[in-house]
Structure 1
Amino acid sequence: MTTANPATATATTAPAPASARKAVLRSETRLFLREPGALFWIVVFPTALLTILGLIPSFREHTDDLGGRRVIDLYVPVAVLLAMIMSGLQAMPPVLTGYRERGILRRMSTTPVRPSALLTAQIALHGAAALGSAALAMAVGRVAFGVELPGQPVAYVLALLLSTASVLTLGALLCALSRTTKAAAAISSVVNLLMMFTAGVWIPVQSMPDTLRDIVRFTPFGAASEALDRAASGSWPGFTQLGVMALWTALVTLLATRLFRWE
């Protein structure tokens, strides 16, 4: 994905670590915005998929099996999670692994900016892109298909932030486990498909058989899907959904911190 050397933005003459970190963030932002492929999959694809599904007449019909709701109502939270999956699991790992593979992180260690500044910038950029894509999906769902806005906005934001944290830490763990960009792409693809299933991209979690749904609920995106759906319906998410996301985030953060290597 990104091929430019971010170390050029942080020369050894950087006046102060804080200023240099800002320079890294500005440099990485410019590089990130020059990647149309990553922007398409993160920002455009989830809303495009939502639009295609919304054009299916049966998906806009209220059904008793879903408690009087429509299938398209369930797919707005799914599109939100899909944006996060694309950002944290598909786009971010190859970038950071590529930086490490080409020795960029090692060279940065000789400058006033530590390599952690680059990691922080990448997490911030991909997190912001995922949240922006989530807002776009919700807006299109509301305007184009009459999907109600979240009945519990505070709970929705909380679930959104927890799910964003879980996917970004999982992406960092994939970076830690992958030694080359090819390995990162291969591992990310497998994990990406698994997380898309648990998020309900192909079958909404609420429509899964009871046994399968009970298993999926204990995955980060299965819990996130149910938490977002409950908040959208006007109910506060259960402590189980929020706790599962928080626990996954804490455990994966610990693993990523212990396993991550700059070289």
Structure 2
Amino acid sequence: MSALFRLTATETKLFFREPVLVFFALALPPVLLVILGSIPAMREPSEDLGGARAITVYVPIIVAMSVTVFALNSLSQLFATYREKGVLRRMRTTPVTPRVMLGAQLLMSTVLSAVTMLVVLAIGRLAFDVDLPRQLPAHLIAYLLTALSMFAIGLLVASLAPTGKSAGAIGTLLFFPFLFFAGLWIPRTEMNDVLRTISDFTPLGAGVQSLQDAAAGHWPQLLHVTVMLGWTIVAGGLAARYFRWE
């Protein structure tokens, strides 16, 4: 455990040496929320959203977005780069195993994305009067399930991509469709039946709906919990099957 925490601290320091990645992973979600919240129409009740304010609807979407950045742009690209440069192979000659490296990366990504989530919730509450989640345990469970499913997909990308650049390219290709079905461009309540059904079976669509349900004081729906667990098991199993340390 001490090796895990020391390596997590080291990897976190290395992460903060990449200003572009730090901006997209930590700064972009809060900045995007501020930009959206500065639009007057986003702060007014909307009939299309069932009387809810758009800014309230977008807070869970931006929380899910922060997890996606870590999963598809940080975790996947870093592991593919480490394998490409032989870092994982050389690590086998040290007391620190590659599995500890994996644990350190997952721990770092989870903690930093959780910090981003707290910042987004705080900005929404203090700047735009967005209520905090009424069902906090449900919100935590929804967040963890969303993170698990997306991190599993990120590791699958890392297991299949031959280089760090290709992992980044694959992650970018997945990033925008996932966010579309999460409701970033068209909120789920405004999607037609076909798009909403597809969204229900994507990890971010299920995750966003679960976060929105928790914000309204409800527990995640069984369908969405099953979808996120399914993505976690399938993507995680494939990642374990095809992952190469060198």
Q: Same fold (TM over 0.5)?
A: yes
After the TM superposition, list the runs of 4 or more consecutive aligned residues in structure 1 that deviate by more than 6 angstroms: none
The SS at the match of 1:173 is: helix
Does the 8 A contact of 2:72 with 2:168 survive in 1? no
Note if contact 1:159-1:224 (Cα within 8 Å) is conserved in structure 2: yes
Q: How many residue pairs were aligned? A: 246
How far 1:56 sits from its partner (Å)? 1.1
Identity of aligned residues (%): 41
The match for 2:19 is 36
C-alpha deviations, 1:62-103, integer Å up to 9, x for none?
A: 123322211111000011011001111112211111110011
- The reply to whether residue 213 of structure 1 matches residue 196 of structure 2 is yes
SS of equivalent residue, structure 1 residue 235 = coil
Matching residue within 97, 101, 104 for 2:80: 97
What is the deviation of 1:165?
Answer: 0.8
Paired residues of 1:94 and 1:185 also in contact (CA < 8 A): yes
1:50–1:79 CA contact under 8 A, matched in 2: yes
How far apart are 1:32 and its partner, in Å? 1.7
TM-score of the superposed pair, with normalisation by structure 1: 0.90
Match of 1:262 in 2: 245
Give the deviation of 1:26 after TM superposition: 2.6
Alignment-derived partner of residue 209 in structure 2? 226
Matches within 5 A, 1:174-185: 174-185=157-168
Larger Rg: 1
Contact 2:84–2:163 at 8 Å: present in 1 too?
Answer: yes
How far off is 1:241 after superposition? 1.1
Tell me which residue corresponds to 1:116: 99
Give the TM-score normalised by structure 2: 0.96
Matched with 2:65 is 82
Aligned match of 1:193? 176
CA RMSD of aligned residues (A): 1.2
The answer to whether the Cα contact below 8 Å between 1:150 and 1:231 also exists between their aligned partners in 2 is: yes
Q: What secondary structure sits across from 1:164 in the alignment?
A: helix
How much does 1:36 deviate? 2.1
Q: What residue identity is the alignment partner of 2:6?
A: A
